[in-house]
C-alpha cells in the first residue's frame, strides 16, 4: 500500500486519501482528519469536507470528528499518508456498524442497507462540493496574486526601460 501511494505521489501527486472503517462504539458517521496547527493554511481547509458532508446528511456527526493524530495512531494509514507521504487531506471515515442517532426522528435506529448507501452518497456529494470549492478557491488566489503583481510599483529597471522608450520618441 505504501509503495503504491509513493508511486502515485511521485507520478501524479496525491491530493486526498480516504480510508473507510466500521466503528463499534460510536454512533453515526464521522471523520478522523489531518492534524494541522491552527496557524497552518490547511487547518480550516481540512475541516471543510466533513462540514459539507454534515450539511448534506443530518445524521453525519461533525462534532464527533477528530483532527489530531494521537501517539498510538502514528502507524495508521491516515497518519502515514499525512506525515510521511505528505498527502494534505488524509481522512479515515468511520461509520457505526450497528446504529445511528436519527436527528430527524430523535431516536437511535439500526443501520440498514439504505442508510449505508445514503451516507456513501452524502460523502460523495460533500467531496464533490469540496473539490469544486477548492478549485474555485485556488482560482481566486491566482487572480488575487496576479492583481497584486499588476499593482506593484515599477522597479528601477522598469523605469530605466520606460525612459529609454520615451527618449526614442
pLDDT tens column, 23-80: 888 888 999 999 999 999 899 999 999 999 999 998 899 999 999 999 999 999 999 9
Domain boundaries, the chain: 2-168
What cell was used for 95? 461509520
**Active-site annotation holds for 94:** yes
CA distances from residue 72 to 69, 118, 136 in whole angstroms, order as listed = 8, 32, 37
d(CA 53, CA 59): 10
pTM for the full model? 0.76
CA distances from residue 35 to 21, 31, 54, 151, 152 in whole angstroms, order as listed = 19, 12, 20, 37, 36
Single out the catalytic residue among 70, 94, 115, 135. Answer: 94
Give yes or no for residue 161 having a pLDDT over 50: no
The percent of residues in the chain predicted with pLDDT above 70, rounded, is: 89
130 or 164: which leads in pLDDT: 130
Beta strand 89-96 pairing with 16-23: parallel
Span 2-168 CATH architecture:
3-Layer(aba) Sandwich (3.40)
Amino acid at each position: 500500500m505504501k509503495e503504491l501511494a509513493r508511486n502515485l505521489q511521485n507520478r501524479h501527486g496525491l491530493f486526498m486519501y480516504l480510508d473507510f472503517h466500521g466503528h463499534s462504539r460510536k454512533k453515526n458517521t464521522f471523520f478522523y482528519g489531518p492534524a494541522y496547527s491552527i496557524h497552518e493554511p490547511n487547518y480550516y481547509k481540512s475541516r471543510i469536507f466533513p462540514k459539507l458532508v454534515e450539511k448534506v446528511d443530518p445524521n453525519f456527526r461533525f462534532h464527533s470528528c477528530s483532527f489530531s493524530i494521537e501517539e498510538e495512531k502514528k502507524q495508521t494509514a491516515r497518519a502515514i499518508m499525512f506525515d510521511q507521504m505528505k498527502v494534505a487531506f488524509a481522512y479515515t471515515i468511520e461509520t457505526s456498524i450497528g446504529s445511528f442517532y436519527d436527528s430527524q426522528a430523535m431516536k437511535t435506529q439500526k443501520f440498514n442497507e439504505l442508510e449505508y448507501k445514503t451516507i456513501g452518497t452524502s460523502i460523495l456529494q460533500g467531496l464533490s462540493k469540496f473539490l469544486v470549492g477548492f478549485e474555485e478557491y485556488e482560482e481566486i488566489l491566482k487572480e488575487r496574486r496576479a492583481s497584486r503583481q499588476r499593482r506593484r510599483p515599477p522597479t528601477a529597471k522598469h523605469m530605466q526601460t520606460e525612459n529609454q522608450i520615451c527618449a526614442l520618441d
